[in-house]
Structure 1
Amino acid sequence: MSINLKNLISVLDAKWTGPDTDIFIDHISIDSRSLQNGSKTLFFALSGANNDAHLYIPELIEKGVQNFVVHHIPKNSEGKANFLVVKNTLTALQQFAGYYRDLFDFPVLGLTGSNGKTIVKEWLNFLLSPDYNIIRSPKSYNSQVGVPLSVIAINEKHNLGIFEAGISTVNEMSKLENIIKPTIGVLTNIGSAHDEGFENLEQKIKEKLLLFKKSKVIIYQKNELVDQCLRTFCEEYPIKDRVLFSWSFGDSSADVFILEKEIKNEKTIVQYQYQSDFFDLEIPFSDSASVENTISCLLVLLYFNYDFETIQNRMQMLYPVEMRLEVKNGINNCSIIDDSYSSDFQSLKIALDFLESQQKRNATKTVILSDIFQSGFSNEELYSKVAQLIADNKVNRVIGIGKTIASFAAKFPNIITFENTAEFISKFESLNFNNETILIKGARSFQFEEIVSLLEEKTHETVLEINLNSISHNLNFFKAKLNPAVKIMVMVKAFGYGNGGLEIAKLLEHHKVDYLGVAFADEGISLKNGGIKLPIMVLNPESTSFPSIIQYQLEPEIYSIKGLKAFLKIAREKNLKDFPIHIKLDTGMHRLGFEENTIDELIETLKGNTTVQVKSVLSHLATSDEMKHYDFVISQINLFEKLSSKLIAELNINPIRHILNTSGISNFPAAQYNMVRLGIGLYGVSNDPSEQKYLENVSTLKSIISQVRKIPTGDSVGYGRRFMAEKETKIATIPIGYADGIARLWGNQVGYVMIRNQKAFIVGSICMDMLMVDVSEIDCKEGDSVIIFGESPTVIEMAEALKTIPYEILTSISQRVKRVFFR
């Protein structure tokens, strides 16, 4: 990309202001945190309910960024950079992407639907890549922001595009169509995702079809409603000689009719009829979703006139698609970012940004990188760009694997190369991985999963998966409820409610929250040692921890005269000045805090003191989640207002004030003050069922089947023979028990796990390290995945059955259970 900034004035309908009228840009950015921003970056300052990138423009100018698209110029920034002032920066980003798309003329596939878009896109990329230089959406970049960023990655060497488009309501698809402008449309499975954004299924289908306004061919699964919508669509948006290319399991009038489907050895054999001929196709999957997605790919290949032999050979090589970046604990205090299934230039840029956000404090940044495919550049140009990207991201060492990257090793000042993965493995012991954050980024053919296995910390087969995207979603959901100037503290105590404190803290720092809250000093020290720079409040500091709190620049909550005097004594001994403390008031919780009759003594103790600064005044609501106690909550808020106002007036201070917790944010918005404290809501749990549907599940506890056996009628399972088989029963043993945090009360057919999307009830008592389930009606085998909790059963469902709260379920998960973080 090389575009004269002046050309964009009319494209974006912008007003120009700035010192340089003749500059070329080669990079588009919306992320102020990216290390890839530079002097030739055009930064679009996007604004939304949760964030405003205009706030970071002065910082970006200091770092050398000179070109911005804004809807207003920040104070004191005019004249310091080039600004294109527009009405709406997101609209401007989309206009730019549409303009950029028009610079290229080659076939473009546009994919939409409820399910399967990303998988079909990745499989089409694999199936067509031997014959085309393909540009495709990275990961699942299919949103109003993701689509323009995907299209902007096109370069002159590409000759086929594959882009996906996702929508959640009406009036969204036309914007994406104007960016992608697909010549070939693929409609994947239409399911229930985002149903709440549409009046009915017909409206959803009609909105999705708008992606294909200019498409010469539309590929879809034939059914009555889709056919009806397509007839209306084609009348409204006519294209000469447009082809509707359909397939069906049951309608023989479809262009491709699937006559038979047979599952053998985890594979599916389908017989299909096309142009009066009959063919048998072997698909390397047995689940119906994968079969449908494969048939969508089949129709694309047929439209491209591939012969049957080529189709069969390539289809047999299809593979499960990993659509996420995973963060895993590694050997020797390393962190592993597993992106070992793709290697292209655009996804490398995304992965490097993720590497920066997950880097441990003072840890070496290492990238293990295979040859890169389908970049659209010549190898000379590609590896020059990759080397520059590595340098911009301050990567300490690169391990290149593959003949091509090895031949360009001279471009990388810090690279070790190996011809193939086997050679790397043979030299593994000599490479000395220690205290590093390691990005593993490789094309599938290099089998980098073997490298991940070598580097990964070895623990048992039960894992707690934490979805970082869901945490971001939930954070933004609650931020959207706040008034513009209200700060947000996020609670990461109790090891991030059992999910992993440091990794979540890194993500929250990436999202620029204002404060983190922990229960005890050692939790805060761990975060500081992990490189967290955000201010951290310690809510339950013990007086013995005060020296450590000061040493690590933590901020203590002070809740008693005794504690205040103890801290002041140490502060004077260390000659501190204005060290931040937080005053806790007891307004009715009666757990910790200064009561009303101690306020005068508190004021007297703090008056004239210069060693500490009251950074905030806070209290805690006892019943913000139960509206039957509404009057009590109001009385707490009123007392907080009275006591905090007295402190402010008597001490002549201007502290942050905060009283609302998660449920308080939703139920008592008038009491937001200067800050709120978000806790369990971040992790996808609400006390309000109407709110719960808008939150995303964060934690999924997974295990595997260790063994499957059949027991005869009358035999028992587990300690105490608490389960007796009334008939021949198939039992599966799962390697997770009460030592991992699963309550024994969840056993004896109270609780269940999910195996192959079916409930398997727990039989007998839960053991320390194992539990047993009835799988008589489930076709399963040893090694199959098991969901202990997640989407089903939810921690809310478990808590209700066990007469406890979701907090206890989450925080009970043992530290011996490996945490895996992914995007």
Structure 2
Amino acid sequence: MYAQLFTFCRFAMYFSVIFVRIIRLKIKKRMETITSLYDFFTECGQVTTDSRNCPEGSMFIALKGGNFNGNAFAEQALQKGCRYAVVDEPEYAQKDDPRILLVEDCLKALQELANYYRRQLGTRIIGITGTNGKTTTKELIATVLGRKYNVLYTQGNLNNHIGVPLTLLRLKPEHEIAVVEMGASHPGEIHMLTHIVEPDYGIITNVGKAHLEGFGSFEGVIRTKGELYDYLRSRKNSSVFIQNENPYLNQIAEGLNCIRYGQTEGLYVSGHVLKCSPFLAFAWIGEKGLHEVQTHLIGTYNLDNVLAAAAIGRFFGVEEEEISLALSSYIPQNNRSQLEETPNNHLIVDAYNANPTSMMAALENFRHVEAAHKMVILGDMKELGSSSKEEHAKIVDFLDTCNFEKVILVGPEFGCIQTSYEKYPDVDTLIDHLKSDCPIGFYILVKGSNSMKLSRLPEFL
């Protein structure tokens, strides 16, 4: 019996050693693949995943989507000027063409290449996430830091598992700081993105009720956004920039070096609203005293965003006068709280995104805007799951307290709510109505999720 047990143990030890060696070989092989891919990337200097956009000498990485297979366009990308094409299906690498590089998984290769490249450069990176305001805050931070540094920052809304690595691969040795936006609609996404980006510093703008269908609950939102804090706890000498009055962020920031900003006196940066009619004017206090700034941002809810940028600018040694100049010069784009004047009306267009938190903030701000005739056009808030009807009803209840002269609701979610306000099933139906009955002389707030396409309305108002 003992002899059999001894023989079994010997075989078990033998196979465990073999297993460990196989695992080590796989890891080594994968790392060799990424280092080899990195060598090819350095020849190219840039990456594309779109065969319709192939800069001369770039590297094409064939990604897959629900309705396309990038492998099928690899040869086309080479013909259009790419130096190399990376594929993950052997049939597209059968030709004896040294320009076609085969990997196990193109998306994984893109992410690992971005992480490896980020490590080679060692650029200081600020990671930013949050429910609302992260894109505006990212651009404000980049504008402020740009007064002293060569800054790379996320373009547009490229903040997902593809956009983040593409942002990192735009880094150049001359970039001194990068501001990388990270978005999420499901648990674990920020965890995954932080391990690609490996940020040195972080900021969560806020947490709110968005993507509840994916997160499952508001608590799920907090946990997922907090994955940025979780990552930074593992890094030495890291810091987070935190809105001092936010109870949810303070609850999950334990053990972190917190640089605080907000409306409380005595913070690293503190400030308050001077006026908002409709553009935000605010005052902030740093090390050198009080600064008053007139911005091109609409809404008192942008106070946190400008104070965050001021705090980060001060932390990185930007002169306080330069911080104020940067904040006063920034002009928002992409349908985020833009003021538009038409021959008939003044419009506040905030049609890029909408969730219960941002919708309520926009309405609260608009009710305080001084105007003789005020009107709101609201589109559905998407991805709220089982909470959708309740959250849309809350918005309608709040509208009842605002005394706006006219209210128009667009979409099937608002359509389910019992109310006397005008309702339209979609933007096309509303446009048909506006063509024959356009309001005149109003201040109009236009807000809804991007998929509602309310950004089409200004030309009919």
By the TM > 0.5 criterion, same fold? yes
What is the match of residue 640 of structure 1? none
Distance 1:132 1:272, change over 3 A: closer
Partner Cα separation in structure 2 for residue 53 and residue 208 of structure 1: 31
Alignment match of 1:244 (pick from 237, 258, 281): 258
Distance 1:127 1:24, change over 3 A: closer
Alignment match of 1:217 (pick from 239, 249, 256): 239
1:207 Cα offset (Å): 1.8
Distance 1:268 1:59, change over 3 A: closer
Partner Cα separation in structure 1 for residue 64 and residue 134 of structure 2: 28
Partner Cα separation in structure 2 for residue 819 and residue 167 of structure 1: 23
1:245 Cα offset (Å): 0.7
Conservation of the 8 A alpha-carbon contact between 1:283 and 1:291: no
Say whether 1:85 aligns with 2:102.
Answer: yes
What is the match of residue 661 of structure 1? none
Tell me the secondary structure at the aligned position of residue 176 of structure 1: helix
Tell me the secondary structure at the aligned position of residue 157 of structure 2: coil
Q: Which amino acid aligns with 1:322?
A: Q
Alignment match of 2:161 (pick from 128, 144, 161): 144
1:121 Cα offset (Å): 1.5
Say whether 1:55 aligns with 2:72.
Answer: yes
Deviations 1:90-148 (A, max 9, x none): 11101111122123234322211111111111112222223211111111211111111
What is the match of residue 130 of structure 2? 113
Alignment match of 2:299 (pick from 260, 280, 287): 287
Partner Cα separation in structure 2 for residue 22 and residue 313 of structure 1: 38
Q: Which amino acid aligns with 2:223?
A: Q
Conservation of the 8 A alpha-carbon contact between 1:15 and 1:86: no
Q: Which has the larger radius of gyration?
A: 1
What is the match of residue 332 of structure 1? none
Say whether 1:27 aligns with 2:46.
Answer: yes
Residues 596-607 of structure 1 correspond to what in structure 2 (within 5 A)? none
Residues 503-652 of structure 1 correspond to what in structure 2 (within 5 A)? none
What is the match of residue 444 of structure 2? none
Alignment match of 2:146 (pick from 124, 129, 132): 129
Partner Cα separation in structure 1 for residue 74 and residue 30 of structure 2: 23
Partner Cα separation in structure 2 for residue 271 and residue 460 of structure 1: 34
Partner Cα separation in structure 2 for residue 466 and residue 310 of structure 1: 28
Conservation of the 8 A alpha-carbon contact between 1:27 and 1:41: yes
Alignment match of 2:250 (pick from 227, 237, 247): 227
Deviations 1:680-706 (A, max 9, x none): xxxxxxxxxxxxx9xxxxxxxxxxxxx
Partner Cα separation in structure 2 for residue 159 and residue 91 of structure 1: 27
Distance 1:87 1:459, change over 3 A: farther
What is the match of residue 3 of structure 2? none
User: Any stretches of 5+ residues in structure 1 without a counterpart?
Assistant: 1-7, 235-242, 326-340, 342-448, 471-692, 694-706, 710-730, 735-754, 761-774, 781-785
Higher mean alpha-carbon deviation, 805-814 vs 102-111, is at 805-814
Conservation of the 8 A alpha-carbon contact between 2:126 and 2:178: yes
What is the match of residue 223 of structure 2? 203
Q: Which amino acid aligns with 1:25?
A: C
The structure that is helix-richer by fraction is 2
Residues 98-497 of structure 1 correspond to what in structure 2 (within 5 A)? 98-198=115-215, 200=219, 201-210=221-230, 212=232, 213-214=234-235, 216-222=238-244, 223-231=246-254, 234=256, 243-249=257-263, 254-258=267-271, 261-263=273-275, 265-266=277-278, 279=290, 281-284=292-295, 285=297, 287-319=299-331, 321-323=332-334
Q: Which amino acid aligns with 1:86?
A: V
TM-score by length of 1: 0.38
Conservation of the 8 A alpha-carbon contact between 1:267 and 1:282: no
Alignment match of 1:777 (pick from 403, 407, 414): 403
Conservation of the 8 A alpha-carbon contact between 1:121 and 1:164: yes
Conservation of the 8 A alpha-carbon contact between 1:55 and 1:74: no
Distance 1:104 1:819, change over 3 A: same
User: Any stretches of 5+ residues in structure 2 without a counterpart?
Assistant: 1-27, 357-369, 377-394, 439-452
Distance 1:808 1:799, change over 3 A: farther
Tell me the secondary structure at the aligned position of residue 229 of structure 2: helix
Partner Cα separation in structure 2 for residue 43 and residue 147 of structure 1: 17
Partner Cα separation in structure 1 for residue 302 and residue 286 of structure 2: 21
Q: Which amino acid aligns with 1:217?
A: S
Higher relative contact order (CA 8 A, sep 6+): 2
Partner Cα separation in structure 2 for residue 33 and residue 87 of structure 1: 24
1:177 Cα offset (Å): 2.0
Tell me the secondary structure at the aligned position of residue 65 of structure 2: coil
Partner Cα separation in structure 2 for residue 15 and residue 108 of structure 1: 22
Partner Cα separation in structure 2 for residue 192 and residue 22 of structure 1: 40
Tell me the secondary structure at the aligned position of residue 157 of structure 1: coil
Distance 1:173 1:316, change over 3 A: same
Conservation of the 8 A alpha-carbon contact between 1:29 and 1:44: yes
Partner Cα separation in structure 2 for residue 324 and residue 153 of structure 1: 25
| Paired residues, number | 371
1:188 Cα offset (Å): 0.9
1:71 Cα offset (Å): 1.9
1:194 Cα offset (Å): 2.5
What is the match of residue 43 of structure 1? 60
Partner Cα separation in structure 2 for residue 126 and residue 55 of structure 1: 40
Distance 1:76 1:821, change over 3 A: farther
Q: Which amino acid aligns with 1:323?
A: N
Distance 1:261 1:708, change over 3 A: closer
Conservation of the 8 A alpha-carbon contact between 2:143 and 2:327: no
What is the match of residue 68 of structure 1? 85
Conservation of the 8 A alpha-carbon contact between 2:142 and 2:179: yes
Partner Cα separation in structure 2 for residue 91 and residue 117 of structure 1: 26
TM-score by length of 2: 0.64
What is the match of residue 429 of structure 2? 809
Higher mean alpha-carbon deviation, 70-79 vs 188-197, is at 70-79
Q: Indicate the percent of aligned positions where both proteins have the same amino acid.
A: 19
1:802 Cα offset (Å): 8.8
Conservation of the 8 A alpha-carbon contact between 1:263 and 1:286: no
Conservation of the 8 A alpha-carbon contact between 1:140 and 1:323: no
Conservation of the 8 A alpha-carbon contact between 1:12 and 1:92: no
Distance 1:295 1:111, change over 3 A: same
Partner Cα separation in structure 1 for residue 279 and residue 334 of structure 2: 22
Partner Cα separation in structure 2 for residue 288 and residue 187 of structure 1: 19
Q: Which amino acid aligns with 2:118?
A: R
